[in-house]
Amino acid sequence: MNCVELQQSLAEVENGSSGPQRAHLKTCAECSALVAELNLIAATATDLRAAEEPSPRVWNSIEIALRQEGLIRPQSTNGARGNRSLLPSFGSRWTWARWVVPAAAVLLITAGVYVRQHSASQPIAANIVVPVAPAKSSDPAGLSDDDLLQEIAQQSPAMQAQYADNLRRVNEYIHDAKSDVDADPNDEEARRSLMEAYQEKAMLFELAMDHPLQ
Amino acid sequence: MSGRTIELVLAGAMAGTVFVTITAGTLVAQSRKDLHFNVGVRSGISVNNPYGSISVKPSLNNTVMINAMLSSDKVEIDSSQNGNRVEIQSHLLPGATAENGRVDYEVLIPADASITLHSNTGSLHAEKLHGDVTLEGASATVDIRDITSAHVHVKTLNGPVTLTNVQDGHVEVDSLSGEVTLNRVTGPLVQVISTSGPINYTGDFGDSGDYRLTSHSGDIEATVPETTSADVTASSVRGEVHDDIPLQPKAHTSFIVRQGSAFVGTMGRAAVSSTVVLRSFSGKIHLRKRTSK
């Protein structure tokens, strides 16, 4: 098994535990590093509790987005109150919520990819397909902080300063965490901090989505 | 009756009418709503309240009792029960504001029930429960106490978070800039992540847990008794670290320990120790010894 075959085989046995994979990994430092990184990302993803049930608000925002896209229709009504969802009902006003949830997810994926890219050897890193996020800003996740702040300014001006301040701080957090990873890509704590920084930003967007309107 | 007397009577009557109208208006605007639900063991209760407080305490039996004080008719309460799950939602009507859309809840639930509370501006309080507790809010003040053997998850933007006497917990607190205070909080996992808020821990780090307190720019302070057993790693990229407790140095560390910006070591008995990681970028870290009073 050569390097290309090993990377292809990871689609089926991603932890490199099969016999041919192990045989190749014993002799190839680059592939060993790749498998180690993939295992680390998988373990970190577990830490992020991605497998946990999303909150009702997440489901609600998905429901709202599907309705807006016309993919589902409201249930038959028995008066105005008949079809009111018990879940938060601010989706109709927060039309931008439909991109907030995937955007938060993209943030976390981006963090994983960034960590992986900055710790893998160059030839292998070049083979990794980086997910393409909607390009709206220079942020690696394609998120537009300006969009977020504009929406908050329109919908809940009293909260704008708080969100702007926290957004600035969390961007500094990400910047510093990236610098730390760049300085020592093998520092596990630094890489974990970067994931946590992105997690904080994802939480900021989630809280913004949750904020009701006046 | 003289003309002057008639004027006074009419004026009094008008004033009385206005008073009654205002009083009646107030009575109409503010209202109280009580809800009761029968549930089984390990039920789930969710309260989503955009504006206002939520306080949760244990009930004496398998009932969920909701006492809600609505500040005006600009908000109403939607409720539903689906099997063992109860959902409560403060529903803001057109024209609702933070003031007239406010609802204050007092909730009694079975002690083994799991709760999910959400409020943006009010206080969130839960006590004496052993079901899972999930609290979220932007500016909400979070106060959790006397929780045992439960998952405790908290998310806030800038609201302060206080956890007191949480035992055997799986605790995860995320706060952008709110101060996080943990008093006697122990369990297999205790994790606090903050962007700029300070983190204060007072307790003994249990006996076999994983404790991670991380803040980008906030200070971290841990105050522990001398009897604490823990493997401690503390590092601040740009801030200072201070250690009042002598640690037994570790032979191997995963990073270069720079004097004044990091320390690594074991306190107490390593065989029964917890793992403690204190990490900041620009905040100070201080490991203090608790002095007996």
Q: Strand B210-215 and strand B85-92: pairing?
A: unpaired
Q: Give the residues across from B116 on adjacent strands.
A: B46, B134
pLDDT of residue B292: 66
Angle at CA of residue B21, ends B19 and B23, nearest 5°: 65
Q: What DSSP element (H or E) covers A26?
A: helix A19-27
**Which of A13-17, B19-23, B200-204 is least confident?**
B19-23
Is the pLDDT at B2 greater than 90? The verdict is no
Distance CA B98, CA B77 (A): 16
Distance CA A170, CA A178 (A): 12
pLDDT of residue A48: 55
pLDDT of residue B181: 98
CB–CB contacts below 8 A, A to B? 112
Distance CA A119, CA A36 (A): 10
Length of chain B, in residues: 293
pLDDT tens-digit map of B127-155: 999 999 999 998 889 999 999 999 999 99
The token duo for A16 is 């490199």
pLDDT tens-digit map of B51-79: 999 999 999 999 999 999 999 999 999 99
**Which of A12-21, A116-125, A129-138, B147-156 is least confident?**
A129-138
Buried b (16+ CB within 10 A) or exposed e, A185-194: eebebbbbbb
Name the percent of chain B in helix, strand, coil, to the closest 5: 10, 50, 40
Residue B216 DSSP one-character state: S
| Burial zone of B164 (CB within 10 Å; 0-12 exposed, 13-18 middle, 19+ buried) | middle
Query: B-side interface with A, Cβ within 8 Å?
Result: 46, 48, 50-51, 78-80, 87, 89, 91-92, 96-98, 101, 116, 118, 120, 134, 136, 138-139, 155-158, 174, 176-177, 193, 195-196, 214, 216-217, 235, 237, 254-255, 277, 279, 281-282
Half-sphere exposure of A124 (CA within 13 A, CB side): 24
pTM over 0.90: no
Q: Strand B170-175 and strand B114-119: pairing?
A: unpaired
Q: What confidence category does residue A51 fall into, taking pLDDT thresholds of 50, 70 and 90?
A: very low
pLDDT of residue A19: 83
Residue B89: CB atoms within 10 A of its CB come to 24
Q: ipTM of the assembly?
A: 0.74
Q: What confidence category does residue A180 fall into, taking pLDDT thresholds of 50, 70 and 90?
A: confident
CA distance B207 to chain A (A): 22
Closest residue by Cα to residue A114 from A197, A56, A49, A6: A197
